């Protein structure tokens, strides 16, 4: 299909986070007229960078996963005029009280992972191989929790804690709420549709033996916002209008078909509306949605993150890696971003982001104190090197991928209204998940002849 043969549509995108902007870019490159409405006075949503004194922090530490051949790469290849410079993330290190070890990616490194008792390592190795084998012959329900397939009673506390931290890192929830599907996802990402081919799972086992670690994970130089800047600069000359400080207050439909979007000031007519904000809030903009759909959206659960950014007057964290801290009061992920881009801090200084998940009802001030206590206890003499301290409470994903959580797809009961964002796909995490959601939207519009083929076959 040629772009010139596509019937030009008037499209309103609600939200200028990465999923809204990626959608706007792809749709305008397909010849449509796009208006993006953003409630705040900045683009980027959870993907922004800003200055705190002489340091440039991101909205939470970010490492982009699956950059080698994943959905963001596909969108960049298809639609970006320029791409950020990506720096390889390097290893994930596990820091316990006594030691820092590399993350055990392979069966061999797991067998040697002396943080856990030998009998537990053996049990987990056998379980992993058994799970892949069960899945290969269709005997495994992947929407069950990690805790339901491990024998917690017979595992050492240290092993249960390790698995729990890993689950929190992957989904924001612990072993009881994290589906084992989340762990298969990282093996399956090249198959866009859920493949049932036994070969895929045997490839998974092959990966467990051969995998070299997280080789396709990267940090964008200049901070996470540099991805957003590449998207907006790729819109130059296209028919896109981004309106900041302009919230959508109502989506208008008639006889089950979308007609436009209302803001505080005006009504924008639209043939298609792409909604990239919280699905839980869609019913506020469309009170007449069918009740069962509304109930489904309103039931979506999310987790919050608490991030501490520290500007240090010397480098206290190693090079080329981030660290997952376990065995402490608050497990957290520690990313020294200046190891990837020194320009984010004054010369010789280090900028490090430390993040953990919190529940919506926790006492945030008390949590901040505890988290700072954890950092000071782990890194000897850190306090006297702290030049800058900055806190963020944010939402990493608009819905957590938990057991049984049914996310809506990009299709809605209203013709012409589509959803994108991290609460519309049960796959991967963060920006990678947002990118999958945009590919789903483009696939849906391709079916209607409104975009060129969106993805590689």
Q: Residue numbers of the site for ligand FAD (CB under 6 A)?
A: 14-20, 37-40, 45-47, 59-65, 247-248, 276-277, 305, 307, 355, 394, 396-397, 421-422, 429-432, 434
Q: Is 420 helix (H, G, I), strand (E, B) or coil?
A: coil
In this complex, which beta carbon is closest to ligand FAD, that of residue 16 or of residue 124? 16
CA 187 – CA 214 distance, rounded (Å): 12
CA 92 – CA 455 distance, rounded (Å): 30
Question: Nearest-CA neighbor of 226 among 341, 91, 349?
Answer: 341
In this complex, which beta carbon is closest to ligand FAD, that of residue 31 or of residue 44? 44
- Please name the residue that has the structure tokens 């489904």: 296
In this complex, which beta carbon is closest to ligand FAD, that of residue 229 or of residue 313? 229
For residue 241, the minimal CB distance to ligand FAD (Å) is: 14
CA 184 – CA 214 distance, rounded (Å): 15
| Alpha helical stretches, state H, 268-403 | 282-285, 291-298, 364-378
For residue 131, the minimal CB distance to ligand FAD (Å) is: 25
Question: Nearest-CA neighbor of 283 among 268, 272, 295?
Answer: 295
For residue 432, the minimal CB distance to ligand FAD (Å) is: 5
Q: Is 388 helix (H, G, I), strand (E, B) or coil?
A: strand
In this complex, which beta carbon is closest to ligand FAD, that of residue 31 or of residue 353? 353
65's tokens: 């996963």
For residue 300, the minimal CB distance to ligand FAD (Å) is: 13
In this complex, which beta carbon is closest to ligand FAD, that of residue 39 or of residue 160? 39
β-pairing, 304-312 vs 350-358, is antiparallel
Pair 323, 100: CB distance under 8 Å: yes
Give the C-alpha distances (Å, rounded to integers) separating 290 from 33, 280, 282, 425: 29, 14, 12, 21
For residue 56, the minimal CB distance to ligand FAD (Å) is: 16
For residue 433, the minimal CB distance to ligand FAD (Å) is: 7
For residue 353, the minimal CB distance to ligand FAD (Å) is: 8
Contacts 24+ apart (CB under 8 A), 253-256: 253/286, 253/288, 253/414, 253/417, 256/413, 256/414, 256/415
For residue 31, the minimal CB distance to ligand FAD (Å) is: 23
Q: What element of type H or E holds 220? A: strand 218-220
In this complex, which beta carbon is closest to ligand FAD, that of residue 116 or of residue 400? 400
116's tokens: 């856990």
In this complex, which beta carbon is closest to ligand FAD, that of residue 15 or of residue 416? 15
**Burial (CB count within 10 angstroms: exposed 0-12, middle 13-18, buried 19+), residue 81:** middle
146's tokens: 């990690």
In this complex, which beta carbon is closest to ligand FAD, that of residue 132 or of residue 401? 401
For residue 114, the minimal CB distance to ligand FAD (Å) is: 28
For residue 263, the minimal CB distance to ligand FAD (Å) is: 8
Please list, in sequence order, all residues whose beta carbon lies within 8 angstroms of the beta carbon of residue 69, skipping any fewer than 6 positions away: 190, 216
In this complex, which beta carbon is closest to ligand FAD, that of residue 172 or of residue 311? 172
In this complex, which beta carbon is closest to ligand FAD, that of residue 171 or of residue 422? 422
């Amino acid at each position: 299909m040629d772009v010139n043969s596509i019937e030009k549509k008037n499209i309103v995108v609600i939200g200028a986070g990465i999923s809204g902007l990626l959608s706007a870019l792809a749709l305008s490159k397909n010849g449509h007229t796009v208006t993006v409405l953003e409630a705040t006075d900045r683009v980027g949503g959870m993907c922004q960078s800003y200055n705190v004194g002489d340091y440039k922090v991101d909205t939470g530490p970010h490492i982009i996963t699956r950059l080698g051949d994943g959905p963001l790469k596909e969108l960049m290849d298809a639609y970006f005029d320029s791409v950020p410079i990506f720096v390889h993330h390097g290893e994930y290190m596990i820091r316990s009280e006594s030691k820092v070890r590399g993350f055990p990616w392979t069966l061999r490194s797991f067998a040697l992972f002396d943080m856990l008792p030998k009998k537990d390592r053996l049990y987990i190795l056998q379980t992993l191989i058994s799970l892949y084998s069960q899945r290969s012959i269709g005997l495994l329900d992947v929407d069950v929790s990690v805790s339901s397939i491990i024998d917690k009673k017979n595992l050492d506390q240290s092993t249960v804690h390790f698995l729990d931290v890993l689950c929190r890192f992957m989904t924001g929830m612990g072993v009881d709420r994290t589906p084992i599907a989340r762990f298969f996802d990282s093996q399956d990402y090249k198959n866009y549709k859920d493949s049932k081919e036994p070969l895929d799972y045997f490839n998974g086992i092959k990966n467990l033996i051969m995998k070299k670690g997280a080789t396709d994970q990267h940090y964008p130089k200049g901070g996470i916002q540099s991805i957003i800047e590449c998207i907006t600069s790729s819109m130059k000359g296209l028919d896109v209008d981004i309106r900041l400080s302009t919230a959508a207050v109502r989506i208008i439909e008639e006889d089950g078909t979308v007609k436009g979007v209302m803001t505080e000031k005006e009504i924008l007519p639209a043939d298609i509306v792409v909604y990239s904000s919280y699905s839980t809030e869609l019913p506020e903009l469309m009170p007449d949605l069918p009740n069962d759909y509304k109930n489904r959206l309103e039931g979506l659960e999310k987790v919050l993150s608490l991030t501490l950014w520290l500007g240090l007057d010397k480098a206290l964290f190693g090079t080329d890696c981030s660290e997952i801290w376990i065995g402490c009061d608050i497990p957290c992920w520690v990313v020294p971003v200046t190891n990837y881009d020194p320009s984010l801090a004054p010369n010789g200084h280090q900028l490090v982001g430390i993040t953990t998940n919190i529940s919506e009802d926790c006492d945030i001030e008390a949590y901040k104190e505890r988290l700072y206590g954890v950092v000071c206890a782990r890194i000897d003499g850190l306090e006297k090197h702290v030049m800058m301290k900055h806190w963020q409470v944010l939402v990493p994903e608009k819905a957590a991928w938990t057991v049984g959580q049914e996310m809506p797809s990009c299709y809605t009961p209203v013709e012409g209204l589509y959803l994108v964002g991290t609460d519309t796909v049960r796959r991967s995490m963060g920006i990678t998940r947002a990118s999958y959601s945009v590919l789903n939207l483009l696939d849906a519009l391709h079916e209607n002849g409104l975009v060129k083929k969106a993805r590689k076959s």
